[in-house]
């Protein structure tokens, strides 16, 4: 059965949906035990959900090599948040919601874009170990305790510091999850690299230009953000830099093969001219050698 998506504009409206008291107009920690039916929410704020029992996309996202003591989902404003319950038990966990106005002008506001997991798909959730789950719940409890203290001139700074701590731990846990998924990650990187090479070999850099991450992420069922983070972790290069690295590698191979003219190579690989190709590859036209500094 398809469930209607409810659009929530404010933290207060979200609290009312779960019978929670509003302690701060821009942030709330909600006990999901109060969710007695399945809901699909679209919030006008950031959300971090910790579930102790999962179903649907969240459950299917767990691999055999993942922990199973809790699942976290991160959603940017205007992204759907699934509240899943079963007929046998209520959902157990927490939902943290916070409006962008909360961290406006703060350190967190300047670096929120670094937490790219807010752009991940539902199937790219974070699966926690028991110690990790305990740590996350402790931070949730710390935010809740600060909200119960009341609102004053210190509230924004204290809450944002706790939010940043939470997101930093989640960044650490996502890296740990990638380490445990080594075999799967290696296959993904290998496949993407092969696809990039095929794109370049077909001369599509010249005809279609540099590809966007989504062109390579979508066929693998991945979000652009997740694929980019995987590549960064495994190769040290984000997608765009990896494409350029593979193009330079191919240019150097072709320049030393003597099969094509330099002008043909430059045109085939999408370089504006041979001078640019020489400069980027450190190729000396007169000596026909590479001069690395």
Are residues 204 and 136 part of one domain? Answer: no
What pTM does this model have?
Answer: 0.92
Co-location of 78 and 202 in the same domain: no
Q: Are residues 172 and 267 in the same domain?
A: no
Token output for 241: 């830099």
Residue with the two structure tokens 């959900």: 49
Alpha-helical regions (H) of 4-63: 11-17, 56-60
Helix axes 239-257, 182-201, angle to 10 degrees: 50
Same domain for 24 and 168?
yes
pLDDT at 87 (0 to 100):
46
Phi and psi at residue 50, to the nearest 5°: -115, 120
- The verdict on 175 and 229 lying in the same domain is no
Pairing mode, strands 46-51 and 71-75? antiparallel
Query: Which one-letter DSSP state was computed for residue 260?
Result: S
Q: Which domain holds residue 278?
A: 184-290
Q: Could you list the pLDDT tens digit for every one of the 293 residues in the chain? A: 456 788 999 999 999 999 999 999 999 999 998 776 777 899 999 999 999 876 666 777 899 999 999 999 999 999 999 886 554 456 789 999 999 999 999 999 999 999 999 999 999 999 999 999 999 999 999 999 999 999 999 999 999 999 999 999 999 999 999 999 999 999 999 999 999 999 999 999 999 999 999 999 999 999 999 999 999 999 999 999 999 999 999 999 999 988 899 999 999 999 999 999 999 999 888 778 887 65
The per-residue pLDDT for 84 is 67
Closest alpha carbon to 135 in 173, 87, 108:
173
Domain boundary among 126, 157, 180: 180
Final residue before a domain boundary, out of 180, 210, 235:
180
Together in a domain, 174 and 194: no
Rounded (10°) angle between helices 224-235 and 155-180: 70
pLDDT value at residue 53 = 72
Last residue of a domain, one of 122, 147, 180: 180
- Which two three-digit tokens encode residue 285? 């036209």
Q: Looking at the structure, do residues 163 and 70 belong to the same domain, yes or no?
A: yes
Contact (Cβ atoms closer than 8 angstroms) between residue 235 and residue 242: yes
CB under 8 Å to 269, separation ≥6 — which residues?
200, 205, 206, 247, 250, 251, 254, 277
Q: Is 60 in the same domain as 202?
A: no
């Amino acid at each position: 059965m398809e469930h209607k998506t409810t659009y929530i504009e404010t933290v207060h409206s979200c609290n009312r949906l779960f019978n929670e008291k509003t302690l701060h107009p821009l942030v709330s920690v909600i006990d999901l035990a109060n969710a007695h039916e399945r809901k699909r929410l679209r919030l006008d704020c950031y959300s971090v959900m910790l579930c102790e029992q999962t179903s649907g996309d969240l459950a299917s996202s767990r691999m055999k090599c993942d922990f199973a003591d809790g699942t976290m989902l991160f959603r940017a404003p205007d992204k759907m948040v699934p509240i899943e319950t079963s007929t046998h038990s209520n959902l157990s966990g927490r939902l943290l919601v916070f409006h962008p106005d909360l961290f406006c002008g703060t350190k967190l506001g300047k670096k929120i874009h670094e937490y790219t997991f807010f752009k991940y798909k539902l199937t790219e959730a974070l699966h926690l170990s028991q110690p990790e789950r305990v740590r996350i719940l402790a931070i949730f409890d710390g935010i809740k305790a600060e909200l119960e203290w009341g609102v004053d001139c210190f509230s924004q700074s204290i809450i944002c510091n706790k939010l940043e701590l939470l997101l930093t731990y989640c960044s650490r846990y996502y890296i740990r999850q990638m380490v445990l998924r080594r075999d799967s990650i290696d296959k993904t990187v290998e496949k993407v690299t092969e696809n990039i090479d095929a794109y370049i070999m077909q001369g599509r850099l010249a005809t279609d230009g540099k590809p966007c991450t989504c062109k390579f992420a979508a066929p693998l069922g991945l979000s652009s953000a997740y694929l980019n983070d995987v590549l960064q972790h495994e190769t040290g290069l984000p997608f765009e830099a990896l494409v350029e690295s593979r193009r330079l590698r191919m240019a150097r191979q072709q320049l030393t093969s003597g099969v094509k003219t330099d002008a043909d190579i430059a045109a085939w690989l999408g370089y504006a001219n041979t001078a640019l190709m020489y400069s980027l590859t450190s190729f000396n036209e007169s000596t026909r050698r590479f001069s690395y500094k």
